Structure 1
Amino acid sequence: MNRQEQRSEETKQFILKAARGLFASMGYESVTIRQIAKAAGCSHTTIYIYFKDKEALLQALTIPGLLELQASLESILNDTSLTGLQAVKRMSSELIRFCLMHRTMYTVFFMVKADRVDEREPAMDMNKLRNQLFALLSEGLGRCFDEQLPESRLLAYSRIYYYMLQGIVSTYAYSEESTESLMGRLGETFDEATDVVLSGLLQRHLEEGQI
């Protein structure tokens, strides 16, 4: 990489860092390209050299992290030594850990400009990844049942389970306690929450089968 290429890459990283900080502190919708440029120490026209628009910036910030989480969840799901319940519980713990590690960007990673989780073909790459993450969790959840669930029922159960996980993360989204400390202090409570919800869903399925 020559000096000009290095300067160009540094400028791009300054822009991403500025956008990350502003999106986290002010919220995506409130931030303007001019504010990002000011924080990055460049002109607003410079940003358009690297990013088509604010949405492109958003995707550049979210996709690497979502890909990292996807790889972790896929590794757990593909571990043949785990039962369905064990896999779901490990995936849940990993999702919570990831969200707590990136808590200042939690809303940006998962909420901003999100499509429905059952959208078949999201237009934006970050939403494809978001929905793939939900699908991985849903696949793991489906393995916990003795029989294949109807698609509509599995979707409903997956949503319920996902709401619980996001509720845990939301509770500590503004905590100043480190992720390591939170997971160490509350990891067993998080595990128990997943056990309770999973047990409830399994029991609900049994009851529905008896009706």
Structure 2
Amino acid sequence: MSKQEQRAEETKKSILLAAGKLFAKRGYDHVTMREIAKEAGCSHTTIYIYFKDKEALLHRLSMPVLEDLRNKMEYISADSSISFEQQLKEISREFIYFCLLNRSMYTIFITAQSSRVDVEEPNSEINKLRLELFNIIKQVIRKCLSIDEGEQLLAFARIFFFNIQGIVATYSYPHETLDTLMERLIPTFDEAVAILLLGFKEKLKQKGL
């Protein structure tokens, strides 16, 4: 790698670090490209050489970690050696662990510039990937409840996702290590999954489904 290429890589790295810092501190929508450039120590024209806009920065920061999370969730959902309910519990743990591990940035990874989960064609690669994460959860719920695709399944998946997000928000600022927290609370997380499934099944029973 030439010195010029090395400087370019260092500049890109500085820009990404600056963007992550500012997004985490102030939120994606409230940060400008000019502010990111200033934080990175480069001119507001230089930043556009490497990233055309904020969305490109969001993509670069988010896609690798979200792809890794998707791969882990897909692996669990394809594990035929465990029950569907156990798949759902382990997927939930994986998602919770990911969010708490990235607690300063998880809302950026999961929600910044996000589209609705029921759109047929996501408007960006990152939203396509977010939808894949949601659909993994939805399909495991479908297997647990033995129901068809439709509005009821979508509603259950949304309710489930809301509850996972609530757990993450509750423990966004823990006073213990992440591994210690997870070890202590996994039984509670698993119980939450079991209770939600019982509620879904009772709702289906009431509706005669």
Superposed pair shares fold, TM > 0.5: yes
Q: What secondary structure does 2:144 align onto?
A: coil
Question: Aligned equivalents of 2:205 and 2:196: distance in 1?
Answer: 14
5+ unaligned residues in a row in structure 1: which ranges? none
Paired position in structure 2 for 1:140: 140
Paired position in structure 1 for 2:16: 16
Paired position in structure 2 for 1:29: 29
Question: Aligned equivalents of 1:148 and 1:201: distance in 2?
Answer: 11
| 1:52 equivalenced with 2:43 (yes/no) | no
Q: What secondary structure does 1:37 align onto?
A: helix
Question: Aligned equivalents of 2:30 and 2:178: distance in 1?
Answer: 28
Q: What secondary structure does 1:103 align onto?
A: coil
1:178 deviates by 2.7
What are the residue-to-residue correspondences of 1:81-160 with 2, within 5 Å?
81-145=81-145, 147-160=146-159
1:176 deviates by 4.8
Q: What secondary structure does 1:121 align onto?
A: coil
- More displaced, 172-181 or 64-73? 172-181
Q: What secondary structure does 1:45 align onto?
A: coil
Q: What secondary structure does 2:45 align onto?
A: helix
1:82 deviates by 1.8
1:148 deviates by 2.9
Root mean square deviation, CA, Å: 1.3
Amino acid at match of 1:28: Y
Question: Aligned equivalents of 1:75 and 1:27: distance in 2?
Answer: 32
Amino acid at match of 2:105: M
Paired position in structure 2 for 1:200: 199
Amino acid at match of 1:170: A
Paired position in structure 2 for 1:76: 76
CA deviation profile, 1:9-34 (whole Å, cap 9, x unmatched): 11101100110011001111111112
- More displaced, 78-87 or 125-134? 78-87
Question: Aligned equivalents of 2:156 and 2:44: distance in 1?
Answer: 45
Question: Aligned equivalents of 2:32 and 2:187: distance in 1?
Answer: 42
Q: What secondary structure does 2:104 align onto?
A: helix
Question: Aligned equivalents of 1:43 and 1:30: distance in 2?
Answer: 19
Paired position in structure 1 for 2:177: 178
Question: Aligned equivalents of 1:136 and 1:181: distance in 2?
Answer: 27
TM-score by length of 1: 0.94
CA deviation profile, 1:23-76 (whole Å, cap 9, x unmatched): 001111111112111111111111101111111111111111110110000000
Question: Aligned equivalents of 2:143 and 2:165: distance in 1?
Answer: 21
- More displaced, 167-176 or 186-195? 167-176
